[in-house]
Structure 1
Amino acid sequence: MKQMKAVVIGAGVAGAASAIALRRIGAEVTVYEAYPDPAGKVGAFLSLAVNGLRALETLGCLDAVRAAGFEVDRQRMWSGRGKLLGDVPRGRAAGDPLRSVTLMRADLVAALRAEAVRVGARIVVGERLTGTGAGGGAADEAAARADLVVGADGLRSAVRRTLDPGGPEPAYAGLYGLAGIAPSVPEAGPGRTFNLTFGRRGTFLHLPAPDGTVWWSVQIADPAVPAGIELDVDELAGLFADEQVPRRILGAGARIDATTLFHVLPPVPRRQDGRCVLVGDAAHPVGAGQGASMALEDAVALARALHAEPDRAAALAAFDHGRAARAGKLARSAAANRDAKTAGPLAARVRDAVMPLVFTRAYARSTNWLYDYRPGALPQ
């Protein structure tokens, strides 16, 4: 049988993972990435729940990713006044032996890219798909000749626009974020614990790292699109003047390493056409701390579908159908999470009163479907 020639657009989490998975089923894979390689521990951190970790295990990258980050046992939610609203396992069911892993996004991408190269994928950086086809740049030329084109190029996907020029575009979600690292402070609490504080002006997340520092991020609700995110640490601490723990962490010499505007994307009606297919944020930017995990799931599911079905168009249709319901359900959960973070004063008071009564008991029922997912195996 003729070897499938696959072009992957984007070498982030979704793209590098897809390259590994496609190499595992024998495809010839070239990855085109518009940006240079990540450099060191710079930027925002992310967490991988156990469903993402199981996908990493299938890809053969779990040990490398664990070594690049640290495990987190618990997740605690707090009101702005320091009232404990909920205490649940972080990114897992209560009896699961796996533990959620938190690491810098750049380190996750680096581990996946290293494995992709090790198994024989070719990664070309500094090449952007323009959608002009043959006669365009290197990425366009390669995509025009490929048997399979995987759009792993994120929220503003060029592959998605090629598939559906009149399709949906991302819109500002009413939130912007900042992230960084602070020195150790006693108020940060115990290690291996992810903390989320619902503040009056925004949501503050923090977790103590094994080296004694505190990794933190902030999500600020603002209905107007900021012209730029120009807050410094002192101004940010002022926004959390009423919340003791966030104020203490930000006031302890925290640095800002990353800023971002959060976006939402309406459901994408056309995610594949029998030769091109979307994965990760290009297909379904789910949020809820699951973006990377869902991209890893996509990579495994795509390769399994192509391995099981010789007809490529049928395989892509089966992959798309199989992923749509799960991604859609998670997107609805993410929307509810955003609503909680942008709640007004009255809704916030109701949330703080109700969460301690129902959240911990309801958590397992509302998340077991997500964390119990098994991606299946790939050829060795």
Structure 2
Amino acid sequence: MSTTESALVIGGGIAGPVTATALLKAGISARVYEAYSGPTFTIGSGLALAPNGVAALDIIGAGDPVRAIAKPISRMELSIGGKIVPTPAPAGLPPLQMVDRHALHRVLHDHAIAAGVSFEYDKRLVRVAEGESGVTAYFADGSSATADVVIGADGVRSTVRGLIDPSNPGPDYTGMLGFGALINNEIGLTPGTMVFAFGSRAYYLYAVLDEKTILWGANLPHRKYLSLKEARAVPAEHWLDRLRETYGADSPGGEFVRRTTPENLEITGALHIMPPVPRWHRGRLVLVGDAVHAPSNSSGQGASLAIESAVQLARCLRDLPDPGSAFAAYEELRRARVESVAARARKLNHSKTPGPLARRLMSVLMPMMIKRMDPERTLGVEQRYRIDWDAPVQPELLSTAG
């Protein structure tokens, strides 16, 4: 029987509310502590949830509320050198669900509150003190809180990761800044389609949400690292000039950027990818979501993996007798899967900033590679993953469970 009765969840983005809601479902009291002054409804732009991520949300009852704000994407295409190549997908799976990150945060936050999760804001974690019977978190405002465990859902710049092991690596900068916008679909693109486009100078992508709306995103090469705050301190007009210079000659990328205004440009700052983290947990502290595994946005799995890990962590804390055994089982359940996805994404990420010669080679070779791709082998294993919430976690079976 588990001795874990309470948890402090640090971070209120995506993984935090899902973790706390799953913990409550598992019979464990959970409270979320967020460094921002309120819910993080203004961070980020659009993202795609894969079938495996939505299935994990169904376990905590959040699947349908998220589907209600999402647009299904049933067709994927690659655009390179002016060629459009349909990308094969695994058969028999639900479509991707494209959501506005702001709306997703709000739905997950509201769903957690309805389930009984409490949130506290302006709570920036500075240190913890562990004892035999619990752990106390101390915040920058002088307050503190005590529970059986502390769960770091505090993103790629995780404070909890550094408390677990100061030598744990931080995120790698991909050499690109993220931008996005919602624009009117006035050029007749087919709804329900997502296109990964290698422009003449840089990579971008777009999703045709419906007859009226297109969501597009740019991965702008930029040597200097800029945090979200630093990137947003630069006038939007400057970034639009850079985007027009970079994508202006592309079709339809040039049209997208010309239809983007300073008012609707979403600036997300540096794009990251987490290298493998050696230590996921120590004592009564553990990591979840982007704090421990943040694959490049090329993966299409970042949010979905975070949601899966949140649910699996709750299962382990529910079923195993103490935090140490629960955390070890959780890591065994998750590490191989998330690192496999991250490795796939890292390879794709290198193709986003090719030189002129490599770009010409890509225009010839990549369509051939896409046509020969086995979608079940490359994506099916990732997207068919399902969590059996009702099955007890049995550590002795994990190594053979995959």
TM-score computed with the length of structure 2 as normaliser? 0.86
Contact 2:4 2:149 (C-alpha < 8 Å) held by counterparts: no
* Displacement after TM superposition at 1:374 (Å): 0.8
Q: Distance in 2 between matches of 1:244 and 1:101?
A: 25
2:244 paired with 1:244: no
Q: Distance in 1 between matches of 2:248 and 2:355?
A: 18
Q: Distance in 2 between matches of 1:235 and 1:185?
A: 23
* Displacement after TM superposition at 1:88 (Å): 2.9
Contact 1:14 1:279 (C-alpha < 8 Å) held by counterparts: yes
2:392 paired with 1:371: no
Unaligned runs of at least 5 residues, structure 2: 130-135, 392-402
Output the amino acid matched with 1:239.
Answer: T
Contact 2:247 2:254 (C-alpha < 8 Å) held by counterparts: yes
Q: Distance in 1 between matches of 2:141 and 2:351?
A: 41
Equivalences for 1:252-267 in 2 at 5 Å?
252-254=259-261, 255-267=264-276
Q: Distance in 2 between matches of 1:140 and 1:334?
A: 41
Determine which of 91, 96, 108 is the counterpart of 1:94: 91
The answer for the alignment partner of 2:132 in structure 1 is none
Determine which of 313, 323, 328 is the counterpart of 1:312: 323
SS in 2 for 1:286: coil
Residue 38 and residue 168 in structure 1: after superposition, are their counterparts in 2 closer, same or farther (change >3 A)? closer
Residue 52 and residue 262 in structure 1: after superposition, are their counterparts in 2 closer, same or farther (change >3 A)? same
SS in 2 for 1:341: coil
Q: Distance in 2 between matches of 1:57 and 1:7?
A: 23
Q: Distance in 2 between matches of 1:130 and 1:290?
A: 30
The answer for the alignment partner of 2:127 in structure 1 is 131
2:116 paired with 1:116: no
The answer for the alignment partner of 1:210 in structure 2 is 210
Report how many residues are paired.
371
Contact 2:127 2:137 (C-alpha < 8 Å) held by counterparts: no
RMSD: 2.3
* Displacement after TM superposition at 1:363 (Å): 4.4
The answer for the alignment partner of 1:175 in structure 2 is 176
Equivalences for 1:181-330 in 2 at 5 Å?
181-186=182-187, 189-210=189-210, 212-225=212-225, 228=231, 231-254=238-261, 255-287=264-296, 288-330=299-341
Larger mean CA deviation between 248-257 and 307-316 belongs to: 248-257
The answer for the alignment partner of 1:6 in structure 2 is 7
Q: Distance in 2 between matches of 1:39 and 1:147?
A: 29
2:42 paired with 1:37: no
Residue 326 and residue 261 in structure 1: after superposition, are their counterparts in 2 closer, same or farther (change >3 A)? same
Residue 273 and residue 3 in structure 1: after superposition, are their counterparts in 2 closer, same or farther (change >3 A)? closer
Larger mean CA deviation between 251-260 and 105-114 belongs to: 251-260
Contact 2:157 2:291 (C-alpha < 8 Å) held by counterparts: yes
